[in-house]
A and B are shown apart, each in its own frame.
Chain A
Amino acid sequence: MNFDPRFSGRKFASVGTRPIRPDGVDKVTGRARYGADFNMAGQLVGRVLRSPHAHAKIRKIDTSKAEALAGVKAVITAADLPDLTDGDAAMYDILDNCMARTKALYDGHAVAAVAAIDAHTARQALKLIVVDYEVLPHVTDVDEAMQHHAPLINDAIFTEGLEEKPVKASNVTKRSQFGHGDVHQGFGHADFIVERSFKTEQTHQGYIEPHACVANVSTDGTADLWVCTQGHFVYRQHCAQLLGMEASKLRVTSSEIGGGFGGKTHVWAEPVALALSRKAGRPVKLVMTRDEVFRASGPTSATSIDVKIGARKDGTITAAEATLRYTSGPYAGTWAEIGAMTAFACYRLDNVKTVGFEVLVNRPKTAAYRAPSAPMAAFAVESTVDELAKELGMDPVEFRIRNAAQEGTRSSYGPVYGPIGIGPTLEAVKNHAHMKAPLKANQGRGMACGFWFNFGGQTCTDLNIGMDGSVSLAVGTVDVGGSRASLSLVAAEELGIAYEQVKAIVADTSSLGYNDMTDGSRGTFSSSMATISAARNAIKILRERAAQMWDISVDDVVWEQGHAVAKGEKHGNLGKLSLKEIAAQSGKTGGPIAGHSELVADGAGVSFATHICDVEVDPETGSTRVIRYTVVQDAGKAVHPTYVEGQYQGGAAQGIGWALNEEYIYGKDGRLQNAGFLDYRIPVCSDLPMIDTQILEIPNPNHPYGVRGVGETSIVPPLAAIANAVSNAAGVRMTHIPMSPPRILAAIEAEREG
């Protein structure tokens, strides 16, 4: 396929406007169907039995009494999900996480499941399953898990990435290193060095809609799965592989999604629902409770990070170094690796080194959470940068501007940057009215920068033109933030028609070619690229049909503002043919008109943001209130500015919760103590200020419209921006997230006591 993705600098008619999203009315009226809103005739209720232990050997599971209970149609254990992964370690981990095999590895790990005629019977059946556990020592803290005497979670793990191959098993699955130059030499040239250690606690994405699916396996081996997910094609691949099915025989339809943020990029209960349906011979609906979502779906890593940065008196950073330790739950992950790549990505550094350690703990398998791993790294680095600026006597914004990465800078993770927006976001913050507003007693202001890579990936789109001139756009990227509206704008732009003429849908896995997950901020970036390509293919056909209708050469037909136009003096009397007029005659000129596109959207273009935050800290209680918040971020090109602003505000809101309140709290027994929204408190409206936004547009050279991903970067700076604000308000450096009232109070009292 010939498609030129380069930025063209064109002027836009539709892109950049703010029409109402097509799914909005259904969502606010309750008509939209989410994961749990789908039902099938004869469906059973699925329920999962979960380990009450953080770490335990499973000696035996007796399901006989549950199977004998009237109304129970299927009971499964790991034996019903045999290992078909053929040595694929990553898939085996997914399988083991869906249903524990030999050991329960965390509080909430699934060990058995039932399908019954109703929820009451299913719950009764779970109580009748007898599991003989041998409880093992456990470890949930990242630093403790790295100690030599720590309980070993997987004795087949030998640390990768070490210079010498280890001879002893370890809870550290991998060591990763990035950087360039010579940090030792760089620190030698520094006049000031700040070195600090930080911790962040584990958080959950906190999506409002729990995981839910309906699975229906037929006797002929075909199956349907209706599910709430960020990537139904990936779910199909994983479920089919785990159940030994051909992917083409499993049709997956994605429901509307009530939040994902990375947490719905992994399969959890879906293979279990399919296995139950296969055994019962009936559809099975499986909906996680909130308790299950917290205990057994993927939260982010808890971390322990050391940062050291040195600078000359003139404010130039001479060296920067970080050691990052991230939990990955009981399975191997790449979370510290990402933290190590993003930590110093905002800065122009001659000498930089980061080392990441992936650490196993008896907590649920870690999942992505919006720019996974970057917020914690940014918290540690941006806190240290702020302290260093203070040591130097420099304004923190000026210090960052002096050291900001630019086009041509070698990134801390290796490649050289193209055009980037960190400098412009800092200049915008420097000149923002927020930075000049006065503060009162006990109030403090902080700012911080953040970076995210953004991805593209495999993308497929169909654009079908109806005989009435309306356009159906079928995309394979799940709409998690208004992308159907944005993609309709792109189709309208390219075809030169009104937004209202385009209807975008998310097609199921049997209706469209493979699409990667909606993650990595790729949804609008990659599907807009495929939509542009599909529209251009459709325009080629529209021109051919117009040429037929006029009986002239197609080379004499151009497409302008939604019309075929005959060019040249010899066709001067032909006027124009609208898309609608051409579509009306399509049956006579060759049949339906459509444009298709299959591509790999590479060159997503990195993204930067700078946030400003004002807080008020009560010195008597340690309670913090965010009183003003501003997000400045580069979007490349904001296709639908309202939804770009929504992404910015959403990232800031989640970051405020992460910074101030949210954390997984484990008891000494290794069990999660706060698996619910009463005790794990995400911010509600009354906890949040109005969040101001400023969109910058530094075009991505690798997209025709200049689009970059926007979904993730906005959660990177808040932890640090708020930590800097709280530290300025409280007069003491905060190094542990969340900065809950007891932690702030303890820090203030420790400072008072010297």
Chain B
Amino acid sequence: MVEVTLWGALGQVAGGRSKVEVEAKDIRELFRKLAEQYPGLEPWIDRGIAVAIDGTIYRDTWSKELPPGAEIFLLPRLAGG
């Protein structure tokens, strides 16, 4: 079980929660479980979400493991210039 912090706009579609608990071993499973538990998140996940694991931001690496006790943040998948 990992605790995931959601950014504000994402929290609104997860029933107003800023933190959710999910049983997931990697980013792929995290997204799948989040979409199951909170269907409102699915379009956001499809559009792209970045995952910060202990401060390092991952944009595309679905296979990245979520170590037990890691601090996990979901963040917008940003654009650069």
Give residues in A with beta carbon < 8 Å to B: 90, 160-163, 174-178, 205, 261-263, 265, 334, 337-338, 341, 355, 367-372, 413-418, 453-458, 517, 519-522, 600, 602-604, 702, 712
A-B contact count (CB 8 A): 112
Report whether A161 and B47 are in contact in the complex, using a CB–CB cutoff of 8 Å.
Answer: no
Q: Which residues of A contact B7 (CB under 8 A)?
A: 176-178, 413-414
Q: Is B25 an interface residue (CB 8 A)?
A: no
Bound-state Cα–Cα, A519 to B47, Å: 18
Bound-state Cα–Cα, A372 to B80, Å: 6
Q: Which residues of B contact A367 (CB under 8 A)?
A: 81
Given the interface pairs A162-B12, A178-B7, the reply to whether A415 lies near B52 with Cβ below 8 Å is yes
Report whether B56 and A338 are in contact in the complex, using a CB–CB cutoff of 8 Å.
Answer: no
Q: Which residues of A contact B58 (CB under 8 A)?
A: 602-603
Report whether A413 and B80 are in contact in the complex, using a CB–CB cutoff of 8 Å.
Answer: no
Bound-state Cα–Cα, A261 to B7, Å: 28
Q: Is B71 an interface residue (CB 8 A)?
A: yes
Report whether A602 and B9 are in contact in the complex, using a CB–CB cutoff of 8 Å.
Answer: no
Whole-angstrom distance between the Cβ of A234 and the nearest chain B Cβ: 11
Q: Which residues of B contact A205 (CB under 8 A)?
A: 81
Give residues in B with beta carbon < 8 Å to A: 5, 7-9, 12, 16, 47, 52, 54-61, 64, 71, 73, 75-76, 78-81
Given the interface pairs A177-B9, A414-B75, A416-B71, the reply to whether A455 lies near B80 with Cβ below 8 Å is yes
Report whether A458 and B60 are in contact in the complex, using a CB–CB cutoff of 8 Å.
Answer: yes
Whole-angstrom distance between the Cβ of A259 and the nearest chain B Cβ: 12
Bound-state Cα–Cα, A520 to B77, Å: 11
**Identity of the chain B residue whose Cβ is nearest the Cβ of A335 in the assembled complex:** B79
Taking A341-B76, A415-B57 as given, write out 20 further A-B residue pairs in contact, using a Cβ cutoff of 8 Å, ordered by the A residue number: A161-B8, A162-B12, A163-B16, A176-B9, A177-B8, A334-B78, A341-B75, A414-B5, A415-B54, A415-B56, A417-B55, A453-B78, A455-B57, A455-B59, A519-B79, A520-B80, A520-B81, A602-B57, A603-B56, A603-B57
**Identity of the chain B residue whose Cβ is nearest the Cβ of A266 in the assembled complex:** B79
Report whether B57 and A265 are in contact in the complex, using a CB–CB cutoff of 8 Å.
Answer: no
Given the interface pairs A161-B12, A176-B8, the reply to whether A602 lies near B56 with Cβ below 8 Å is yes
Whole-angstrom distance between the Cβ of A408 and the nearest chain B Cβ: 9
Of B47, B56, B64, B79, chain A has the most CB atoms within 10 Å of the CB of B79
29 pairs, A vs B, C-beta closer than 8 Å: A161-B8, A162-B12, A163-B12, A174-B9, A177-B9, A262-B81, A265-B79, A265-B80, A334-B79, A341-B76, A341-B78, A368-B81, A369-B81, A371-B80, A371-B81, A414-B73, A414-B75, A415-B55, A418-B55, A456-B59, A457-B59, A457-B60, A458-B60, A517-B80, A600-B61, A602-B59, A602-B64, A603-B57, A603-B58
Bound-state Cα–Cα, A334 to B71, Å: 25
Given the interface pairs A161-B12, A414-B7, A602-B57, the reply to whether A455 lies near B52 with Cβ below 8 Å is no
Bound-state Cα–Cα, A427 to B70, Å: 32
Report whether A702 and B55 are in contact in the complex, using a CB–CB cutoff of 8 Å.
Answer: no
Q: Which residues of B contact A355 (CB under 8 A)?
A: 8
User: Which 8 A-B residue pairs are closest in the complex by CB-CB distance?
Assistant: A262-B81, A520-B80, A177-B8, A161-B9, A368-B81, A519-B80, A415-B52, A414-B73
Bound-state Cα–Cα, A180 to B78, Å: 20
Of B7, B54, B79, B80, chain A has the most CB atoms within 10 Å of the CB of B80
Bound-state Cα–Cα, A562 to B80, Å: 37
Q: Which residues of A contact B76 (CB under 8 A)?
A: 176, 334, 337-338, 341
Given the interface pairs A161-B9, A414-B7, A415-B52, the reply to whether A604 lies near B57 with Cβ below 8 Å is yes
Whole-angstrom distance between the Cβ of B25 and the nearest chain A Cβ: 18
Report whether B81 and A175 are in contact in the complex, using a CB–CB cutoff of 8 Å.
Answer: no
Report whether A602 and B60 are in contact in the complex, using a CB–CB cutoff of 8 Å.
Answer: yes
